Amino acid sequence: MTGLLPEGFHDRLPPYADAAARLERRMLDSAFAYGYEQVDPPLAEFEAALGARLKAANARDAVRFVDPVSQRTLAIRPDITAQVGRIAATRMAHHPRPLRLSYAGQVLRLSASQLRPERAMRQIGCELIGLDSVEAAREVVAVAVEALEAAGLTGLSIDFTLPDLVEALGVVPPERLRTLRDALDGKDAAGVAAIAPAYLPLIDAAGPFDAALARLRASDHAGPLASRLDGLAAIAASLPASVTLTLDPTERHGFEYQSWLGFSIFAAGVPVEIGRGGTYTVMHDGGAEEPAVGFSLYADPVLAAGLAPAGRRRLFMPYGTPADIAAQWRREGWVTVAALTPDDNASAQLCTHVLGTDGPETT
């Protein structure tokens, strides 16, 4: 059983590996067209530095090892966003803002979840650093949607949330916040009513975007909620009508590090979230904080859902075909597959065409 792989790790074989690479290229090209340029941080870093920028759950999930060179503990990244934050706060600290960065790379996690069984996966994303305004969030959401549509996904839906809403409303004393958050997370209306009845409309408001927004506007919360709702409305209005929007104002799971805005992205036919993002804070040396907004996409669930790889179109070169003839067909856009022995044949090589006397013939 030398071919067996650990749980959560897998090989991607032809033609799916090429399909995944094409998907990733299209996503990165979409972001590039909006001015997002790639950074490529290393697979491993000093654990202490990386851990300080990771969510606690991610830090626990990182593979660690002792580096024989530095005699210090290094960690394999479980997430690339933290590394992009480090780059923005250190080597690119003096680069003018807003800073638009994209990335694509492998991440590794010790544990998997039921929803996300992979432990090695590719993360692709964009971060806009220096702003977390409505304009900035609108651009980032637009880039995410355009990148996914460029990759061929249809039936996109975005579920917005307002992660810091409970704190921002500020009507509950700090010592009861935890209990309130637990009640809201569990959609426990009785529990919420017992602590702060004013929060009940937040539970009821979850659902299709326009209706949820209207219900929230009709609730009696003042300033903090109003400005967030205006922001959400502006972001929603800028998105193409093809994208379904929902709003779950108190959803915080996985958004613990987001500030005023969070969002999850889903696509028709894909059972799990395919991406997520939101506003957050980049920490600088000395404690300064910088606003930012970004998103991450995962190629694996999209491909696993059966996104069709492009059809193969391969032209078989019979044994003895001169190299310059094959080169000529490649210049015309063909994939050429050369017979290297007299016994090689077109169908075994998955060729759709064979080079005949008058050019390519279908097999």
User: Hey, which residues between 279 and 298 contact a second copy (CB under 8 A)?
Assistant: 285
Closer to a second copy at the Cβ: 106 or 154?
Answer: 106
Window contacting a second copy (CB under 8 A); options: 40-48, 193-201, 223-231, 261-269:
40-48
Window contacting a second copy (CB under 8 A); options: 84-92, 163-171, 273-281, 352-360:
84-92
Contact 199, 180 (CB under 8 A): yes
Contact 241, 254 (CB under 8 A): no
Closer to a second copy at the Cβ: 75 or 184?
Answer: 75
Characterise 35 by phi-psi region: left (phi > 0), alpha (psi -120 to 50), beta (else).
left
User: If binding means CB under 8 A, how many residues of this protein chain bind a second copy?
Assistant: 89
Q: Which residues are registered as beta bridge partners of 73?
A: 66
The distance of closest approach from Cβ of residue 127 to a second copy in the complex, given in angstroms and rounded to an integer, is 13
Cα separation of the two ends of the chain: 37
Closer to a second copy at the Cβ: 214 or 350?
Answer: 350
Choose which of 27, 126, 136, 272 interacts with a second copy (CB under 8 A): 136
Choose which of 123, 161, 250, 336 interacts with a second copy (CB under 8 A): 336
- What secondary structure does DSSP assign to 294-330, as a single string? EEEEEHHHHHHTTPPPPPP-EEEE-TT--HHHHHHHH
Closer to a second copy at the Cβ: 218 or 331?
Answer: 331
Handedness of CA 172, 175, 176, 177 (dihedral sign): positive
Window contacting a second copy (CB under 8 A); options: 95-103, 162-170, 172-180, 263-271:
95-103
* Residue 243 binding a second copy, by CB under 8 A: no
Choose which of 226, 330, 356, 361 interacts with a second copy (CB under 8 A): 330
The distance of closest approach from Cβ of residue 186 to a second copy in the complex, given in angstroms and rounded to an integer, is 29
Window contacting a second copy (CB under 8 A); options: 112-120, 197-205, 210-218, 250-258:
112-120
DSSP assigned state of 198: G
User: Hey, which residues between 164 and 183 contact a second copy (CB under 8 A)?
Assistant: none
User: Hey, which residues between 44 and 73 contact a second copy (CB under 8 A)?
Assistant: 44-46, 49, 52-53, 63-65, 67-70, 72
The distance of closest approach from Cβ of residue 267 to a second copy in the complex, given in angstroms and rounded to an integer, is 21
Contact 337, 321 (CB under 8 A): no
The distance of closest approach from Cβ of residue 177 to a second copy in the complex, given in angstroms and rounded to an integer, is 30
The distance of closest approach from Cβ of residue 115 to a second copy in the complex, given in angstroms and rounded to an integer, is 16
- Strands 73-76 and 44-46 come out as antiparallel
The CA distance from 318 to 340, in Å, is: 9
Q: CB within 8 A of 55, min separation 6: which ones?
A: 79, 256, 257
Closer to a second copy at the Cβ: 93 or 206?
Answer: 93
The distance of closest approach from Cβ of residue 233 to a second copy in the complex, given in angstroms and rounded to an integer, is 16
How many of the other CB atoms lie within 10 Å of CB of 198?
15
The CA distance from 110 to 6, in Å, is: 11
User: Hey, which residues between 295 and 314 contact a second copy (CB under 8 A)?
Assistant: 314
Q: CB within 8 A of 37, min separation 6: which ones?
A: 100, 101, 102
CA distances to 162, 180, 248, 259, 278 from 167, in Å: 10, 10, 16, 10, 17
3-state secondary structure (DSSP) of residue 265: strand
* Residue 32 binding a second copy, by CB under 8 A: yes
Helix 223-238 to helix 209-218 angle (10° resolution) is: 160
* Residue 116 binding a second copy, by CB under 8 A: no
* Residue 131 binding a second copy, by CB under 8 A: yes
The distance of closest approach from Cβ of residue 232 to a second copy in the complex, given in angstroms and rounded to an integer, is 17
The CA distance from 251 to 161, in Å, is: 6
Choose which of 27, 54, 87, 144 interacts with a second copy (CB under 8 A): 87
Closer to a second copy at the Cβ: 214 or 310?
Answer: 310
Closer to a second copy at the Cβ: 45 or 248?
Answer: 45
